[in-house]
Amino acid sequence: MVKKCVKCKKFKDLSKYGKYAAGKDGLNSTCKPCRADIQRQYSAKNEVKEKNRKRKWARENPEKTNKWNRNNPEHIKQWKADRDYNRKYRLQNLEREKERLRKYSKTHSGEKNALNRKRYISKIRATPPWLTREHLENIKQIYIKAKNSGMHVDHIVPLKGKNVSGLHVPWNLQIISASDNIKKGNRFQE
């Protein structure tokens, strides 16, 4: 049996159509190649939305993601190579990257402000009310010392860690290099 695709207007065998429970015949009205083309166009127009959707799916389905990763080692190898290349490029072109980030910050100031505000609020929530003025002054001095030495202030136990969350207190702060802080990310290293 054959069916006419509503997009390409060609008659194709029923095996060329995906299943669709709500369809009259239980099949999609567009053939698989046309359906893939529609999905590619949608993904191109909604790149960020699609990336977030895929990330969410991967987080919710770790066993399927891990199985796919095991079955596609060449993809993982390529992904790691691309990641390493991008890292090297950014390190070799620091001025160009700084300029790119400056431009991005100007054009996306609302997003940047929202992220900064979110970070600020999480810091406030992680600052216990029982801290003394002396503790708060110590925190301030740590930030001043880091800024003067061109270093970063890192929370030893992250404020919003995956398994554990720390407090914004002087004994949970350390001064480390920017590269070490970026490598550490939001992870707790015992």
The pLDDT assigned to 123 comes to 85
- Rounded mean pLDDT, 78-105: 90
Average per-residue pLDDT for the chain = 89
For residue 165, pLDDT beyond 70: yes
Asked if residues 166 and 172 have their Cβ atoms less than 8 Å apart, the reply is yes
Model-level pTM? 0.45
- Rounded mean pLDDT, 31-58: 91
Hey, where are the domains in the chain? 2-71, 129-190
Question: d(Cα 13, Cα 10) in Å, to the nearest integer?
Answer: 10
For residue 36, pLDDT beyond 90: yes
- Helix runs in 22-61, H state only: 32-45, 47-60
Question: d(Cα 50, Cα 75) in Å, to the nearest integer?
Answer: 19
The pLDDT assigned to 108 comes to 86
Tally of CB atoms within 10 A around 144: 11
For residue 9, pLDDT beyond 70: yes
Its sign, for the CA torsion 45, 47, 53, 58, is: positive
- pLDDT > 90 fraction of the chain, expressed in percent and rounded: 49
pLDDT in tens, 106-115: 888 888 888 8
- Rounded mean pLDDT, 158-177: 87
Asked if residues 18 and 29 have their Cβ atoms less than 8 Å apart, the reply is no
The pLDDT assigned to 190 comes to 65
Q: Please give the sequence-ordered ranges of beta strands (E in DSSP) within 15-142, or none if there are none.
A: 17-19, 27-31
What are the backbone angles phi and psi of residue 26, rounded to the nearest 5°?
A: 80, 10
- With H, G, I as helix, E, B as strand and everything else as coil, classify residue 71: helix
Q: Please give the sequence-ordered ranges of beta strands (E in DSSP) within 17-80, or none if there are none.
A: 17-19, 27-31
- Rounded mean pLDDT, 51-63: 91
